[in-house]
Amino acid sequence: MTADFWMDLSGGKPGGQMSSDGLSALHIETLTNFRPLDSQFGKWPTRTVPEDLMPHLFPAGDDGDSVLALIDAARMPMLPEVLEASGLDHRCLFKGDARDEWGDAAPWLVRLEQESDLTRKLFTGGKSAGQYWNNAAAIFIRSSRSLDMIWSHLRKFTKFQDAGGRWIFFRFWAPPYLARYLKGHDEAATPFLEHFLLDMTFILPEPVRGMVSIAHVSHPDLRRDIRTGNSPGRWPGFRRDIARIRLDLFVEKLDRKLTKVIPSTTSVSEDRRLTSLHRMARSAISLGLREERAVERYCLSRLMLGFPPEQDRRFDGILQGSAHDLDRSRDMLALAISIGKEA
């Protein structure tokens, strides 16, 4: 993880799912305890889409809307070759030199068919080849628009300027960032999200949490023509909101790791554990420990000691030193382990 992941964490007013005229615009439904398809061994006929998602993707009396997957090639090996062999309409979201250089790790838009083998694989959980759900490889879109129109629209949001004029990238195709962002963002960014969603329905998986979020704009006045929308321009609070999501994801990942390494931590509620780890992580960042591994080592040191390392003079030389934060955090953890053995 680079230092950029922890930028602009303070301030801001998250939330805001209202249109500019005060009417509810952004609608989000969350499916909890969601179960993807299993291997369906011995079952016939096999399903290609979990039953809970059928009404959102391929409803009865289908009106002809397109169902698309936006797939992250970085999470799905040999994706360009897989798409070519599938016979499905597809297109890389990048083009030109960017596609030539990053095509093997770029987002690809593909129009799914209900009975397609690729559709089944995208919704199948497991660790075997051809079971992609657990990889968090894709988000899904349902719209009356064509693949080319949606491709043209989504390209406007891959790179844009934040409120300070700095160019930033939005990896909205990588779960669970878009789902988290829709549920908690700077209020001033709501019109930008309304334009991003337009008249599309987004189905956004969070495999680790067993959740799927389904989002769309419900206010009819906001269902603008996808062909006339401008690029998003200076998106308010974006960097701060994404930094907060990245911190949340880091803390949740660290909590899962700690509960395996230190089973006794499960005696404390998840909410209390996450709150405590958030506080520790922010302390580490304030001390200049910005690499993910360094923040993790700080949290481990603090848990082992039972108090913040910066409150013990024995850590002054390490924390105030000029070494790289990975080296400082390694020395800090070694000292914490040594102190623990002496206790």
309-326 per-position pLDDT tens digit: 999 999 999 999 999 999
Q: What does the pLDDT read at residue 21?
A: 41
Whether residue 153 is predicted with pLDDT greater than 60 in this model: the reply is yes
d(CA 128, CA 275): 35
What angle (nearest 5°) sits at the alpha carbon of residue 173, between those of residues 183 and 203?
A: 55
Whether residue 174 is predicted with pLDDT greater than 60 in this model: the reply is yes
pLDDT band per the 50, 70, 90 thresholds, residue 232: low
Whether residue 73 is predicted with pLDDT greater than 50 in this model: the reply is yes
Q: Are strands 234-235 and 107-111 parallel, antiparallel or unpaired?
A: unpaired
Within its chain, how far is the Cα of 337 from the centroid? 34
Both tokens of 127, joined, read 């660790």
Q: State which of 90-99, 122-131, 235-244, 271-280 shows the largest mean pLDDT.
A: 271-280
Q: What does the pLDDT read at residue 130?
A: 84
Mean pLDDT in residue range 16-41: 74
The whole-chain average pLDDT of the chain stands at 86
Bridge partner list, 28: 215
Whether residue 308 is predicted with pLDDT greater than 80 in this model: the reply is yes
The CA–CA distances, whole Å, from 95 to 25, 87, 101, 151 equal: 32, 20, 10, 11
Whether residue 35 is predicted with pLDDT greater than 90 in this model: the reply is yes
What whole-number percentage of the chain has pLDDT above 90? Answer: 60
Euclidean distance between the first and final Cα of the chain, in Å? 34
Q: Assess whether the previous peptide bond of 263 is cis (omega < 30° from 0).
A: no
Could you give the angle at which helices 292-305 and 270-286 cross, rounded to 10 degrees? 110
- Report pLDDT digits (tens) over 210-224: 999 999 987 555 445
The residue type of 96 is: G
Q: What does the pLDDT read at residue 149?
A: 93
Q: What does the pLDDT read at residue 343?
A: 66
Whether residue 104 is predicted with pLDDT greater than 80 in this model: the reply is no
What whole-number percentage of the chain has pLDDT above 70? Answer: 87
pLDDT band per the 50, 70, 90 thresholds, residue 231: low
DSSP string of 34-90, one letter each residue: ---B---TT-SSPPSS-GGGHHHHS-TT----EEEEEEEGGGSTTHHHHHHHHT--E
